[in-house]
Amino acid sequence: MSVEPEVPIVQVEEVRENPVLYKIISSDNHVFTISEHAVKLSKTLWDLITNLGLTAENALDNPIPVENVNGKNMETIVQFCERHKYDEEEPEYTNYIREFVLPEWDRQLLSIDNEELFQLILATNYLDIQKLMDYCCRVIGDMAKDKTPEELRIIYGIPTDAEDDALERSASDSPGPSG
């Protein structure tokens, strides 16, 4: 299958010690190149690469199709992974609010429309990128500051009890797989 890229291939910084690069094709046929260190941040992609047996020799000849992520989100994800590929591993959660300051570069990257942020989280969840998920969720959690409960209802789209009940009723009324 030959795919013509519709957007420029994302340029990655050449790493002399580890020049292995992989190609990823988004759901809308955009092609991205990503370094080995960066792609390892995505558990899903790295598992796929390992299972497919891709090596330094054949990686660029075997692009990886990712049907659940569009080009726009993939571009953000590749940028994020390249930026954080040499970060040290974060300590595990505690029960307390984890104290971290979202770096300015990441805050800028994630300063996007709420709908785009929603889609990016779905993509991040699918690709299993822990750090990006943490950062996105932190951005969403921070939206609660200085808001009244009613403003929070609007921002987070939280249904009222009556709406939840109605949703539940319609879900139970809808026919099942056989019906």
Partner 1 sequence: MNTKPIPLFALPYLAYAKVFHYMDPYHQISISLLSKRAKAFVKFMNNKAELSTCQIGTDITLIANWANSSAIFRIYLLPTEDRSFLKNLNDFEVEHVDFQRFERGNFEVAELQKWKNVGWGVKDYINHFNDMVNKTDGFDILRFCDGAFRYEAKSVRDTVGKFQQLTFIDGRQGNFFLRKVLDTFLPVTKQYIALQNPYESLEVFAKVLSQQFDSLVVNTIESFRCTLTDLLGMKSRSVVINWSELKEMDLNQFFKLWIENQASKDLEYLMLSNSIQLTMERILEGINYQQSGSEEQRTFIHSKHVFSMGQTRAKVNYKKFRGGLDIRRCDGKLGTVHFDNTGFRQTIQFFVWN
- Find the shortest distance in angstroms from Cβ 27 to partner 1: 18
Beta-carbon contacts of 107 under 8 Å, excluding residues fewer than 6 positions away, are 139
CB 110 within 8 A of CB 132: no
CA distance 143 to 163: 23
- Find the shortest distance in angstroms from Cβ 138 to partner 1: 5
Q: Which is nearer to partner 1, 52 or 144 (CB)?
A: 144
Residue with the two structure tokens 């988004």? 26
Q: Which is nearer to partner 1, 4 or 99 (CB)?
A: 99
Binding footprint of partner 1 on the chain (CB under 8 A):
93, 95-99, 111-115, 117-118, 121-122, 125, 133-134, 136-138, 140-149, 152-161, 164
- Find the shortest distance in angstroms from Cβ 94 to partner 1: 9
Q: Which is nearer to partner 1, 153 or 169 (CB)?
A: 153
Question: E-strand spans in 1-160?
Answer: 21-25, 31-35, 64-65
- Find the shortest distance in angstroms from Cβ 171 to partner 1: 13
Q: Which is nearer to partner 1, 20 or 121 (CB)?
A: 121
CA-wise closest residue to 36 among 24, 20, 25: 20
